[in-house]
Amino acid sequence: MRLIALSMGAVAILALAACASDGDSGGAGGGMSAGGAGGSSGGTGGTGSANTGGTGGETGGTGGATGGTGGGTGGSAGTPMGTNAKVRFLHHSTGGVIWGGGVAAWMSSYNSTHATAYEITEVAYPDDPYPWQNYPYDYWHLWTDGKASEEGVPTLESMAASYDVIVFKHCFPVSEIEADTGSPDITSDTKSIENYKLQYDALKATLHGFPNNRFIVWTGAALREAESTPEQGQRARQFFNWVKTTWDEPGDNIFVWDFFELETEGGNFLTPADASDDSHPNDTFAQAVAPLFAQRVVDVIEGRGDTGSLTGE
């Protein structure tokens, strides 16, 4: 386990991550937030999204978003957003572990010392009535294929209308990657690199349609070696390296936090020192990396998304 020096005093963690299995229920719950210290936490203003015509809430609708209520527009990747930017963190249980490490307190401390009022809230997504699955297929299905309202979960348009930055990731079964068949299918929920790449490319085009928002995706949560195979571990690293080096484009509104690298420390599996009794990270790890996640969010808000460290270190 790496030792990470924290630049701020008492810091706390906020994050979003993986689930124990496809059939898990629950998560970190919704609605917890970290707002500014001294002043309104969310603020109003900002020019919002360029897409118009949605419901503006988080309850669905198939129309376009009306724009964020937080601090300013996404604009150029190197341009700071407003000092009251609002962030929504979409996660399952691993994300709950990281969030519980103290991100909310870190963000409040940062706000206090930097005269900002950033607000970050977390929610289990997707959740009931949708299955407990948040893999590349599911985000493609809900957001790009436009089935979120039909599936009974908040639409991308509604979240983009309410938040300036949206963070999303996948449960650790995302690393259970099968061998390619040579016949990729964007509509398939089979976990393979060939399908993932099609789904990610389509997702990127969808997210580019919200130029006034910024998005952060985690590289996937890793599996313990005992719960995987050498081949799956290699495929996981291959895909997440592609996400970082090929899929992610400088200058756009999409950014990466390299959670996989933090969990694996250069290998292909969650390190034993960082694991719990399954492929969830332990609390010690969460307390070490939650400040890194929060720092990465701040870097994206403040225009350092393309120049700051992908791990937040």
Angle at 174 between CA 105 and CA 298, to 5 degrees: 30
Q: What is the mean pLDDT of residues 258-278?
A: 96
Residue 209 has pLDDT above 70, yes or no: yes
What was the pLDDT predicted at 1?
42
Instruction: Classify residue 101: in a domain, yes or no.
Output: yes
Q: What is the mean pLDDT of residues 225-233?
A: 97
Distance of CA 147 to CAs 4, 204, 246, 285, Å? Answer: 41, 17, 27, 35
The mean pLDDT of the chain is: 82
Instruction: Classify residue 93: in a domain, yes or no.
Output: yes
What was the pLDDT predicted at 77?
81
What was the pLDDT predicted at 78?
85
Q: What is the mean pLDDT of residues 138-163?
A: 98
Residue 257 has pLDDT above 90, yes or no: yes
Considering only residues 57 and 157, tell me which one the structure prediction assigns the higher pLDDT: 157
Instruction: Classify residue 22: in a domain, yes or no.
Output: no
What is the CATH number for 97? 3.40.50.1110
Q: What is the mean pLDDT of residues 203-230?
A: 97
Instruction: Classify residue 261: in a domain, yes or no.
Output: yes
Structurally, how many domains does the chain consist of? 1
CB atoms within 10 A of CB 246: 10
Instruction: Classify residue 15: in a domain, yes or no.
Output: no
Class of residue 72 by CB neighbours under 10 A (exposed 0-12, middle 13-18, buried 19+): buried
Residue 26 has pLDDT above 80, yes or no: no
Per-residue tokens: 166: 């949206």
Are the beta carbons of 195 and 135 closer than 8 angstroms?
no
Q: What is the mean pLDDT of residues 217-245?
A: 97
Instruction: Classify residue 160: in a domain, yes or no.
Output: yes
Q: What stretches of the chain show up as alpha helix (H) in DSSP?
A: 93-99, 103-114, 136-139, 148-151, 156-162, 193-208, 230-242, 259-264, 283-301
Q: What is the mean pLDDT of residues 56-75?
A: 42
pLDDT band at 75 (very low <50, low <70, confident <90, very high): low
Share of the chain above pLDDT 90, in %: 73
Instruction: Classify residue 152: in a domain, yes or no.
Output: yes
Considering only residues 64 and 76, tell me which one the structure prediction assigns the higher pLDDT: 76
What was the pLDDT predicted at 95?
83
Range of the domain at 73: 32-301
Instruction: Classify residue 273: in a domain, yes or no.
Output: yes
